[in-house]
Structure 1
Amino acid sequence: MVIRKNYPMLDIIRYVAAVSVILIHCGKLVDNELVHFFLKSTFARLAVPLFLISTSYFLKKGMNTHPEYGKNYFFKQGKQYLFWSLIYLPYGIHYLYAMNLSPVLYPIGLLVGLLYIGTCYHLWYFPALFSSIFLTNFIKKRRNYLFLLAISGGLFLVGASETYSSFLENTFLQTYYTSLHNFVLTTRNGLFYSFIYVVLGYLIADFEQSKFFKTRVNLKLFLSLVLFSLECIVIFNNQGADKNFSLSSPFVVTFLFISLLQSNTLKNSNFFLLRQYSRYLFFLHPLFLEVIKWFIGYYGIQVNGLSLFFSTFFLTTLFSAVILYKEIMTVPIKKSLFLWSKNKLSALSLKVQKRVRSIE
């Protein structure tokens, strides 16, 4: 096992990122197009890249310390992915039914879902993550990081054609984009999308003590955010097929992640529960989101936007608390009370000793 250092600010931001994922899946949030775009299609879209770069960073740190860590990680995460794939299997079957697909092709459709896009719309993350890690490890054994950055960056540029497809209209590139999109269905996958973030996570893990990652991080983060904001304006005015890609997001997420790692804010706090809540918010929210939409839709009422978000967030949080009840009521609280009592007694003992010495 790798003893994980406490990163309270990272835990807080990852919780916010998990909430942002729910926000993305709730349709149109508000009537104002600019506000909706800002909430859903800009900073909320940084959530998944943050998860990818964070996961790959800690994986590489673990692999650097223990050679068997990678195998153990894949075994554990693979089991977790299969479990949630089975939970959402009815949704996947319903999706195939809605496509008017022949039942004979259901096994092939479900296999594609399991290995590529997930049995539910949020589970694509795991096939993308696993394939990116495999690809990064394979190339890393044969080439250096410069080559990895070049190839992953190039593939990311190709994938970004999905976001910038409006610029390709009436050009010779439109034919190539259409052919690519018809073949891969979406470029938000392990080759075009998550590959660059996994490479960056590995890079930070191996070179986090370098001057580039240690100096003026907040300034670099600020400049990348400015660039990101300008790019978002361009995307808003020229909206393509989707908005998963942002050319400046790898820079934003890299410096944001490093800033969170280096932060001393709340350094004595432990947000173990937020870490757990983040995980369950991610996995459980489509279950409640789809049930709410179906239940309300049964009565001929459409629910969307912020009302759907808040109801989904509330029910998911409530159910997560039920799952985490044992951990909430036992391990963290007992440990916290024990440490609090120990610290108070130590402080009181020290005061008494000082008082006795002053009297003597």
Structure 2
Amino acid sequence: MNSTRHAGALDIFRIYAAFLVVAIHTSPLWSFNETADFILTRIIARVAVPFFIMVSGYFLFPYIKKGDWHYIWRFCKKMGILYGISIILYLPLNIYAGRYNRSNFWLEIPKDILFDGTFYHLWYFPALLIGVVLVTLFVRIMGLRITFVISTALYMVGLFGDSYYGVARQIPFLNTLYDQLFAVFDYTRNGVFLAPIYLVMGGMIFNENKQLSLRTSMIGLAISSMLLIVEGLLLDHFSLQRHDSMYVMLIPCMYFLFQLLLRIPGRSSKSIRDVSLLIYLIHPWMIVFIRGFAKLIDQQKLLIETSLIHYLLVSILSIAAAGLISYIWQRGKKPLPSKDSRAWIEIDLEALVHNAQTLQKLLPKRCKLMAVVKANAYGHGDVVISKTLNQSGIHTFAVATLSEGIRLRTNGIKGDILILGYTNPTNVDLLRRYHLTQTVVDYSYAKRLNDSDKKIMVHVKIDTGMHRLGIDSRNLSELERIFNCNNLVIEGVFSHLSVSDSLTDDDIAFTNKQLDEFYKTIEILESKGFSIGKIHIQSSYGILNYPNIPSDYARAGLALYGVLSKNDKIRTHVKLQPVLSLKARIAAVKEIQSGEAIGYGRTYTAKTNMKIAVATIGYADGIPRHLSETNSYVLLHSKKAPIIGRICMDQIIIDVSYVDEVKANDVVTIIGRDGVEQIHCQDLAEKCGTITNEILSKLGSRLPHVFNNVHKDMAHTQ
């Protein structure tokens, strides 16, 4: 399974990029060596803004590709708000500098806002906004490759108005062209000429099936960086530059740099992203502050003219101010109780990734896992589970309802999302807006979807013997009519095995009959010229007992979460790890005398003097009410503590007579491991006479999720 899509190193490099921008505006090596400073600030540091733009292109591309204007609008709105705040932030400096005292104010201000930025570093925001809109339109209309060609052509036009302007000045018609362009904006390093190519490059890297090796990336970066420096020095030597933001070799340099960063492991961090953005925004104010302070204490020579000290002071103040602002912002948020203050679910994301990799290894090479994340990922937390799987290389998901699909999409989940259940045809527009794939269960339903006169992505479900949803495999005429629906874009065909969890002779024979029916139906449809798309029939037990079935996808549900039914026999030898634990706190500890009754209905009477504890979890949290009647227990201090009395809505009562040093706030484990003892979800299900699916899916909505081994930018979304 592809696990190379790391985002952590990209976040870390944001800080370096932010300090490179500070270097551009402070020239740290100027007082030591002008050539060295030129190489640093006018050549090497020019990777900073293209890097920021490429990161945006990398993460926006799946939404651009699918035309998710809702998400793109949200992104542009966020950037627009930041730009507006920045304009206000630097308005005092602009007024002080007399920037808006010019007679042509009403001509200059629109140009500044739309292209040049209202302060020298703010051009990034309008460039990004214009670039995103242009690239989205181009990709949707003409595709990624043609958009790359167009973006490259625009970049070349920009080059001759920037680093190669001296060449353009020697050609009359180009000289005239650029005179006209510079009447509209001051620089070609803007959203029309610079931003599109780097947005497209980010998108193309995201879209690549195979990334460069670490060695190739390093060699490519080293060579392209040296050529970039040579290019910059030659252009400066021959005085060809009008500005110095755009170079030919900057494109391959950025490509190899980005590929290298994707190969370096690192943790994604929202805090780092916030701080790097704040450094970029506020560092000019730090420059003004230091210059004013130096003048006040008459230390301009030390604090300003000694360029390295000036740079270091601006950098230190910028990161300190950014950290303080971020801290105040976080502190200003309304405080909430900690997630583990009462009762909670713990999720081990390393176990999740382990299970996904283990299941993938069982399958044929062409077959990929489709992660089933319906019912809040079986109680595990669908958004963070899906984001983790996205980062691990899984890009196909299955849900049960339209709202589940929309929730994943609006939280940034990339890839295909198949709705396994029914969606009202009146909601066709939502299927299209969020790029969701709908299951077709019969011709009547297919016709209602088709009558919307809008293209809808679908998978067709074939009933091979379970007799739940799907078109009977023998009803070929109905299947043909579905395949002839003009507005249904059929991307797959699937079925469901009803007894793949059983290895009795009779059930094995029935499963083989289902498989024969499924592949026979597909063969007939293909012989009639229909495009079947992707096929899938295995769920968790289908993977474990019939791993070699020739399919494109295998739907992994319970097995993905390390949960199977107790005592089930499976053909494959796999070691899956439980992902979920369920825990609660002790609220009170009491001494009970012999003969005293405990709980509602007085169903439990103490036979001897005993010590009991009340744990803060109950049937409102999904604990089955009759669990206390099944000789069940919880774990406390690595020992078993029997559940006694009836389960209450918010509490359970446990016998802790033989557990040492029990006190309020101690942690009780209902599902999971405590020391050498462990309670599996299947143990709980067996006690209650039900299946693990029911236990997990009924875990209460008031139970917060605590994610272990998680990137910080994911955990807050759940």
Q: Same fold by TM-score, threshold 0.5 exceeded?
A: yes
> Are the equivalent residues in 2 in contact too, given 1:8–1:270 (CA < 8 A)?
yes
Between the two structures, name the one with larger relative contact order (CA 8 Å, sep ≥ 6).
Answer: 1
Distance change (3 Å), C-alpha of 1:62 and 1:143: closer
Who is 1:325 aligned against?
327
Q: Which structure 1 segments of 5+ residues have no match?
A: 355-360
Distance change (3 Å), C-alpha of 1:101 and 1:327: closer
Kindly provide the amino acid, as one letter, of the partner of residue 23 in structure 2.
L
Higher strand share: 2
Who is 2:122 aligned against?
123
Distance change (3 Å), C-alpha of 1:250 and 1:321: same
* Structure 2 residue 18 is the aligned partner of structure 1 residue 10: no
> Are the equivalent residues in 2 in contact too, given 1:91–1:119 (CA < 8 A)?
no
Q: What TM-score does the superposition give when structure 1 sets the normalisation length?
A: 0.79
User: Which 10-residue stretch deviates more, 229-238 or 149-158?
Assistant: 229-238
- 1:66-90 deviation digits (Å, cap 9, x = unpaired): 9321121112221121111111122
Measure how far apart 1:226 and its partner are: 3.6
User: How many angstroms apart in 1 are the aligned matches of 2:215 and 2:182?
Assistant: 44
Measure how far apart 1:167 and its partner are: 4.0
Kindly provide the amino acid, as one letter, of the partner of residue 83 in structure 1.
I
- 1:1-360 superposed matches below 5 A: 7-27=7-27, 29-31=29-31, 32-63=33-64, 67=68, 68-95=70-97, 97-98=98-99, 101-102=102-103, 105-161=104-160, 162-168=162-168, 170-172=170-172, 175-176=175-176, 179-180=179-180, 182-183=182-183, 184-205=185-206, 207-210=207-210, 216-239=216-239, 240-263=241-264, 265-266=265-266, 269-297=267-295, 301=300, 303-304=304-305, 305-325=307-327, 353=676
> Are the equivalent residues in 2 in contact too, given 1:208–1:214 (CA < 8 A)?
no
User: How many angstroms apart in 2 are the aligned matches of 1:294 and 1:109?
Assistant: 28
Distance change (3 Å), C-alpha of 1:6 and 1:213: closer
C-alpha RMSD of the superposition? 3.6
> Are the equivalent residues in 1 in contact too, given 2:24–2:45 (CA < 8 A)?
yes
User: How many angstroms apart in 2 are the aligned matches of 1:60 and 1:213?
Assistant: 22
Measure how far apart 1:188 and its partner are: 1.1
Distance change (3 Å), C-alpha of 1:321 and 1:135: same
Distance change (3 Å), C-alpha of 1:61 and 1:174: closer
Measure how far apart 1:25 and its partner are: 0.9
Q: Which secondary structure state, in structure 2, belongs to the residue aligned with residue 191 of structure 1?
A: coil
Measure how far apart 1:215 and its partner are: 9.5
> Are the equivalent residues in 2 in contact too, given 1:53–1:254 (CA < 8 A)?
no
User: How many angstroms apart in 2 are the aligned matches of 1:215 and 1:135?
Assistant: 34
> Are the equivalent residues in 2 in contact too, given 1:132–1:198 (CA < 8 A)?
yes
Q: Which secondary structure state, in structure 2, belongs to the residue aligned with residue 189 of structure 1?
A: coil
Who is 2:391 aligned against?
none
Structure number with larger C-alpha Rg: 2
> Are the equivalent residues in 1 in contact too, given 2:27–2:311 (CA < 8 A)?
no
Q: Which secondary structure state, in structure 2, belongs to the residue aligned with residue 101 of structure 1?
A: coil
User: How many angstroms apart in 2 are the aligned matches of 1:242 and 1:173?
Assistant: 20
> Are the equivalent residues in 2 in contact too, given 1:37–1:236 (CA < 8 A)?
no
Distance change (3 Å), C-alpha of 1:315 and 1:167: same
Distance change (3 Å), C-alpha of 1:143 and 1:215: farther
State the identity %: 26
Measure how far apart 1:197 and its partner are: 0.8
Distance change (3 Å), C-alpha of 1:88 and 1:100: closer
Question: Would you say how many aligned residue pairs link Structure 1 and Structure 2?
Answer: 334
User: How many angstroms apart in 2 are the aligned matches of 1:352 and 1:76?
Assistant: 47
Higher helix share: 1
> Are the equivalent residues in 2 in contact too, given 1:18–1:278 (CA < 8 A)?
yes
User: How many angstroms apart in 1 are the aligned matches of 2:67 and 2:676?
Assistant: 45
- 1:229-253 deviation digits (Å, cap 9, x = unpaired): 3323323422422211110111111
Q: Which structure 2 segments of 5+ residues have no match?
A: 340-345, 351-580, 582-637, 639-672, 678-718
User: Which 10-residue stretch deviates more, 86-95 or 72-81?
Assistant: 86-95
Kindly provide the amino acid, as one letter, of the partner of residue 35 in structure 1.
A
> Are the equivalent residues in 2 in contact too, given 1:41–1:243 (CA < 8 A)?
yes
Kindly provide the amino acid, as one letter, of the partner of residue 61 in structure 1.
P
Kindly provide the amino acid, as one letter, of the partner of residue 229 in structure 2.
S
Distance change (3 Å), C-alpha of 1:143 and 1:73: same
Q: Which secondary structure state, in structure 2, belongs to the residue aligned with residue 324 of structure 1?
A: helix
- 1:108-163 deviation digits (Å, cap 9, x = unpaired): 43333222222211111111111111111122222122322222112211211221
User: How many angstroms apart in 2 are the aligned matches of 1:63 and 1:188?
Assistant: 23
